[in-house]
Amino acid sequence: MKVHEYQAKALLQEFGVPVPRGEVAATAEEARAIAERLGGRVVVKAQVHAGGRGKAGGVQLADDPAGAEAAARRILAMRLRTPQTPPEGIAVRRVLVEEASEIARELYVAVTLDRARATHVVMASQAGGMEIEEVAAATPEKIVREWAHPALGLQAFQARALAFALGLSGDQHRAAAALVQALFRAYLARDCSLAELNPLAVTRDGRVLAVDAKLGFDDNALFRRPEIRALRDVGEEDPLDVEASRFGLNYIKLDGNVGCMVNGAGLAMATMDMVKLAGGAPANFLDVGGGASAEQIENAFRILASDPSVRAVFINVFGGILRCDRLAEGLIAAVRRLGVRLPIVVRMEGTNVELGRRMLAESGLNFTTADDMGRGAAAAVELAGQAR
């Protein structure tokens, strides 16, 4: 789960990470009032669940309250398009108005999970403010890492080493080491999957300050973090994702036109490969789970069918706990109830497969059955192409 920058900053501040003073606004007038309270130069920042806002015009400096109002009006009217948003961009519904910082240097600090080392890694770089993926690809030596000990956590000497790697000394070094430890404590205490400050700024008057903050949370820990769940902004999420999460379906929207419905994550990956191999592109990843019920099948199907880019559906199911006849029953009921017209290719295997196939064939609905995965994928890709 992601949260907005203003929410991330409020949370990090509780743990002692220094952030600029600021407040969130939903209208240009509110932005003006906040700028009046803050006094002086401010920065107005689009609050969306995507980075890269600066280059897209979503971060604007203003000298006075009137300027802040105008900047907020421009940003709130935007559909922000960045490399991290869908191609059509996302509407901006709120802005963060903050005291502007006089930035002398832009640094980078982040905490995330290193799966290979099975512990948390803290990364620091003097090449902050830019796309860290590019730094990692072109000049990996510019990123310094320290791994937290599973039991001892991030130790003081490691935080100091990271602060040195940021090129800091004296008071700034002490401040940065404390900040890194505060960031790590927040990350751990709130079950984050990512805590990133880019940039972490050194200001002209010598302070070390989180100018940008991004937090991601481990969805599997949300059950024990009601205060984090309360920060969820479903308005920022794809409506189909929200729907899928309600029914415990593992759904990820992709760019293609073949809707895929599969039980089991491994089978889902293989199915997407087969669709690609057949020259097509999957519209989604959808795992209904090994023990899906007929009801989950119906919900999954409804989500697939309501995606306008889907031209054909490929259902690839191994009937184990979910028997093939129950699957067929669920599908037939769903197609009838939803009045789906899309071509549907069904490849199923396992318990009661003969009965399931017969039910589909006798239903009089638009099902094509395939007896193996490769032929099923090819048929779905072809039907999706014809529907274009």
The residues that are catalytic are 108, 196
Binding flag, residue 43, ligand GDP (CB under 6 A): yes
Find the DSSP H helices in the chain: 5-14, 28-38, 65-76, 132-138, 156-165, 170-189, 226-229, 239-246, 265-277, 294-305, 324-338, 353-362, 373-387
Binding flag, residue 106, Mn ion (CB under 5 A): no
Q: Tell me which stretch binds Mn ion (CB under 5 A): 208-216, 256-264, 314-322, 367-375.
A: 208-216
d(CA 265, CA 371): 21
For the bound state, the minimum distance from the C-beta of residue 100 to ligand GDP, rounded and expressed in Å, comes to 4
For the bound state, the minimum distance from the C-beta of residue 50 to ligand GDP, rounded and expressed in Å, comes to 7
- Angle 156-165/170-189 helices, nearest 10 degrees? 120
Binding flag, residue 52, ligand GDP (CB under 6 A): yes
Q: Tell me which stretch binds Mn ion (CB under 5 A): 63-71, 92-100, 196-204, 286-294.
A: 196-204
**CB atoms near residue 366 (< 10 Å):** 14
For the bound state, the minimum distance from the C-beta of residue 388 to ligand GDP, rounded and expressed in Å, comes to 36
Find the DSSP H helices in 77-209: 132-138, 156-165, 170-189
SS3 144: strand
Tokens of 301: 């199907």
d(CA 189, CA 156): 18
- Location of structure tokens 């980078």: 108
Site string for ligand GDP, 98-117 (x = CB under 6 A): --xx-x--x-----------
Residue in 69, 146, 196, 212 binding ligand GDP, rule: CB under 6 A: 212
Q: Which residue, 212 or 325, is less far from Mn ion as judged by CB?
A: 212
Cβ-Cβ contacts under 8 Å for 54 (sequence gap 6 or more): none
Applying the rule CB under 6 A, the residues between 247 and 306 that interact with ligand GDP are: none
Site string for ligand GDP, 154-173 (x = CB under 6 A): --------------------
d(CA 269, CA 347): 15
d(CA 85, CA 82): 5
DSSP 54: T
Query: Which does residue 53 bind out of Mn ion, ligand GDP, none, counting CB within 5 to 8 angstroms by kind?
Result: ligand GDP
d(CA 374, CA 272): 11
For the bound state, the minimum distance from the C-beta of residue 198 to Mn ion, rounded and expressed in Å, comes to 4
* Nearest residue (beta carbon) to ligand GDP: 54
Q: Tell me which stretch binds ligand GDP (CB under 6 A): 53-61, 67-75, 115-123, 166-174.
A: 53-61
Q: Tell me which stretch binds ligand GDP (CB under 6 A): 46-54, 167-175, 297-305, 325-333.
A: 46-54
- Location of structure tokens 């072809």: 382
For the bound state, the minimum distance from the C-beta of residue 174 to ligand GDP, rounded and expressed in Å, comes to 23
What letter represents residue 297's amino acid? Answer: I
**CB atoms near residue 273 (< 10 Å):** 13
Residue in 199, 264, 280, 319 binding ligand GDP, rule: CB under 6 A: 199
Q: Are strands 258-262 and 312-319 parallel, antiparallel or unpaired?
A: parallel
Q: Which residue, 92 or 274, is less far from ligand GDP as judged by CB?
A: 92
Applying the rule CB under 6 A, the residues between 124 and 143 that interact with ligand GDP are: 129
Cβ-Cβ contacts under 8 Å for 60 (sequence gap 6 or more): 43, 44, 45, 71, 74, 75
Binding flag, residue 71, ligand GDP (CB under 6 A): no
Residue in 2, 9, 32, 53 binding ligand GDP, rule: CB under 6 A: 53
Q: Tell me which stretch binds ligand GDP (CB under 6 A): 50-58, 166-174, 187-195, 308-316.
A: 50-58
Residue in 82, 85, 181, 198 binding Mn ion, rule: CB under 5 A: 198
Footprint of ligand GDP on this chain (CB under 6 A)? 43, 45, 51-54, 59, 100-101, 103, 106, 129, 198-199, 211-212
Footprint of Mn ion on this chain (CB under 5 A)? 198, 212
